[in-house]
Amino acid sequence: MWRVLDRAIDWFVLRDDRYDAMGPGEDGLLRSHAFPGLWLDPEALLSGDLPKAVTALNRGLASPEHAAFVERLTPKIP
């Protein structure tokens, strides 16, 4: 959730029917559990540094976790 007025981003993960706040990793990136490879750089987003934000997203999309996620979603044609 992007809180515009106080310039903050909250990230949540659904666990046992409740949403728990989740902070960034050691590298400062938020990583989605529901969509592997969705990596967001909250500092870049909040500061308007689009190139840095896109770099983080592209790193996530190039990750092995994202490749495995895409593979699971790809229909298998016999």
Count structural domains, the chain. 1
β-partners of residue 2 are 9
In a domain, 43, yes or no: yes
In a domain, 59, yes or no: yes
In a domain, 69, yes or no: yes
Query: Amino acid letter at 52?
Result: K
Domain range for residue 11? 2-73
Q: Which residues contact 38 (CB under 8 A, 6 or more apart)?
A: 31, 32, 57, 60
In a domain, 53, yes or no: yes
Q: Tens digit of pLDDT per residue, the chain (78 long)?
A: 999 999 999 999 999 999 999 999 999 999 999 999 999 999 999 999 999 999 999 999 999 999 999 999 998 887
39, two tokens: 């990596």
In a domain, 66, yes or no: yes
pTM as predicted: 0.84
> In terms of DSSP H, where are the helices of the chain?
42-47, 50-61, 64-73
User: What residue has token string 């050691």?
Assistant: 26
In a domain, 78, yes or no: no
